[in-house]
Structure 1
Amino acid sequence: MSQIEIKNVSVTFQNKKQRITAVSQVSIAIQKGEIFGIVGLSGAGKSTLVRTINGLQRPTTGEVIVDGINITRANKSTLTRARQKIGIIFQNFNLVQNRTLGENIAFALNAGGYPKRQQNKKITELLDLVGLADRKDNYPGQLSGGQKQRVGIARALANDPDILLCDEATSALDLETAEEIVAILKDINTRLHITIVFITHQLEVARSLFQRVAVMENGHIVEQATAYDLFANPRSAMGRRLVGRFLATALPSEIRQRLASVPGQLLALRYRGEDSLDPIITKIAGEIGVNVNIIQGRIEYVQAKAIGVLTVFVTGQAAQLLAAIKAFKQQVDQVEVVPL
């Protein structure tokens, strides 16, 4: 049985002029202990959807069930108890500036009814978990952005939640710091077996953190897949758009101008695994009679599995170019014809 079940959920807002559907007929099942990602552009409905999990947003239709509790129908006391087992990390940290780090965490402990005589020990344990054991008496203004988010993680874990919701938790951070936060979350997931639901538009995060992922567009889930399958072979137009940005192999304008003066076709190839495509390229070139020049390439790792990206320039007669493109499509996961 899934730990989180989102069943045909829609969320609609009504203002004076129009009715806006932020989430439309979404169904997702999230398993206990997994790291599940929701990706999409700004305004896709990600935050609204995640807020239905802890009852901060009531669905217009559909239902959300968490650990067997119907969140959409729960009374106030039941919802309060359910929320105590759901931590949340925010994009902008949400720390109280005039309280020390220890006091920020104590605030969450008090809200959850944690015994006061045990709080100092718990605060030390939580700060140690995120690598800030020596900063208990510091104020948020004395920390970097990454350190503030570490405190946000510690505070979210104050009441030993079973589920951790992360709302664009790395968007305000530089890439290197975001990777540190991702490493901490992966460690927490492994150590505590806590379920993590993470929403983001950053594919760098999705690559290294998520096990499964849903792609949102205009309130709809347009694709669900493992993280690796999304990167290797996205099925939806939005999935291809997001992954294409991350795996883009943009060429310098000088090279594009030089290639544009030569009859031929530029192709972006994506394939699974870290083996070279040299044998395939040699075979296609020999059998069809085209020249294939490798322009650039790289290998990315998603959940420790390789995805290769290669840009090649193929020259030959028009019919030969079409035959070469067809042959590449039969040999690799994805072929994109790149206009010059």
Structure 2
Amino acid sequence: MSQIEIKNVSVTFKAKQKDIHAVSGVSLSIQKGEVFGIVGLSGAGKSTLVRTINGLQQPTTGEVTVDGVNITKASKPQLAAARQKMGFIFQNFNLVNNRTIAQNIGFALTAANYQKDQQAQRIEELLGMVGLADRKDNYPEQLSGGQKQRVGIARALANNPDILLCDEATSALDTETAEEIVTILKDINTRLHITIVFITHQLEVAKSLFNRVAVMEDGRIVEQTTVYDLFADPKSQMGQRLVGTFLDTKLPDEVLFKLKQLSGQLLSLRYQGEDSLDPIITKIAKATGVEVNILQGRIEYIQNKAIGILAVFLTGDAPNITQAITAFKQAVDQVSEVAL
């Protein structure tokens, strides 16, 4: 049974006598213990949707059920009890600047009626979990952005939640620091078996952290799949756009300018698995009489499986180039003819 069930949820806001459909007819099932990602551009409705899970946003229509509790119809006591089992990690950290790190976490413990005489020990445990055991007496302004977000994670874990909701938790951080936060969250998910729902526009985070992913566009879910399948073969236009940007093999302008002076065809090849394409390229070049120049290539590992991307330029007689393109399309997972 799913831990989180979102059924036909819509959220509509009124603005200057105009309806804004932030979320439209979304249905999702999220399993206990998984890391589920929701990706999309700014304004896609991701934040609004995730706030329906803990009742911070009431749906206009539809239902949200968490651990068997209908959040949309829950009484105040029921909702308060459900929220106790959900931690929330914010994009902008939401720390109280005139209180120490320990006091910031203590607020969460006190709000949940955690026993006073056990709070100090719990704070030590939480800060140790995120690598900040020696920073409990510091103030937020004395910490880096990544350290502040670690405090945010510790605070979200204060009351032993079953679910962590993460709203763009890495978007305010540089790439290296974001990777550190992702590593901490993966460890927490593995060790504590906490379900994580993470919304982001950063596919770098998606490839490293998520098990399954939903793509949102204009308030709707346009694709649901495993994270590997999203990168390997996105079905929706938005999925293709996001993945295309992440796996971009755009050549430098100087190289493109030189290619334009030549007679040939630029191809973008995408394949799955770690095997090199060299034997296929050699075989096709020999069979068709074209010259195949490898211009650029990379391999990305998604869920421990490889996706390879190559940019190649074919030169030779036009009929032979056409024959080679056909051969590549039969041998490679995805082939795109790139206009110069």
TM tier, smaller: over 0.9
User: 2:234 aligns to what?
Assistant: 234
1:6 aligns with 2:25: no
Q: Alpha-carbon deviation of 1:17?
A: 3.2
1:108 aligns with 2:108: yes
Query: Counterparts in 2 of 1:299-310, with a 5 A limit?
Result: 299-310=299-310
Q: Alpha-carbon deviation of 1:280?
A: 1.3
Q: Alpha-carbon deviation of 1:40?
A: 0.4
Q: Alpha-carbon deviation of 1:325?
A: 2.5
User: 1:180 aligns to what?
Assistant: 180
How far apart, in 2, do the equivalents of 1:320 and 1:18 lie? 58
User: 1:124 aligns to what?
Assistant: 124
User: 2:18 aligns to what?
Assistant: 18
How far apart, in 1, do the equivalents of 2:323 and 2:256 lie? 23
Q: Alpha-carbon deviation of 1:254?
A: 1.1
How far apart, in 1, do the equivalents of 2:317 and 2:9 lie? 53
User: 2:297 aligns to what?
Assistant: 297
Q: Alpha-carbon deviation of 1:319?
A: 3.5
How far apart, in 1, do the equivalents of 2:292 and 2:22 lie? 47
Deviates more, 1:176-185 or 1:224-233: 224-233
Q: Alpha-carbon deviation of 1:155?
A: 0.2
Letter in 2 for 1:113: N
User: 1:311 aligns to what?
Assistant: 311
Identical pairs, percent: 75
Q: Alpha-carbon deviation of 1:306?
A: 1.1
Q: Alpha-carbon deviation of 1:337?
A: 1.8
Q: Alpha-carbon deviation of 1:318?
A: 3.3
User: 2:274 aligns to what?
Assistant: 274
User: 1:42 aligns to what?
Assistant: 42
Q: TM-score, normalised by structure 2?
A: 0.98
Cα deviation, 1:248-274, whole Å, max 9, x if unaligned, reads 012111111111111111111111111
Change (3 A) 1:260 1:3: same
Cα deviation, 1:15-50, whole Å, max 9, x if unaligned, reads 223111111111111110000111000000000010
User: 1:57 aligns to what?
Assistant: 57
Q: Alpha-carbon deviation of 1:169?
A: 0.2
Cα deviation, 1:304-338, whole Å, max 9, x if unaligned, reads 21111111011233333333323222222222222
1:193 aligns with 2:216: no
How far apart, in 2, do the equivalents of 1:319 and 1:159 lie? 68
User: 1:223 aligns to what?
Assistant: 223
> How many residues of Structure 1 are paired with residues of Structure 2 in the alignment?
340
Q: TM-score, normalised by structure 1?
A: 0.98
How far apart, in 2, do the equivalents of 1:85 and 1:221 lie? 26
How far apart, in 2, do the equivalents of 1:18 and 1:316 lie? 59
How far apart, in 2, do the equivalents of 1:33 and 1:140 lie? 31
How far apart, in 2, do the equivalents of 1:323 and 1:60 lie? 56
Two-structure CA RMSD over aligned residues (Å): 1.0
Letter in 2 for 1:239: G
Which secondary structure does the structure 1 equivalent of 2:147 belong to?
helix
Letter in 2 for 1:135: R
1:92 aligns with 2:92: yes
How far apart, in 1, do the equivalents of 2:68 and 2:164 lie? 17
How far apart, in 1, do the equivalents of 2:307 and 2:64 lie? 35
Q: Alpha-carbon deviation of 1:289?
A: 2.8
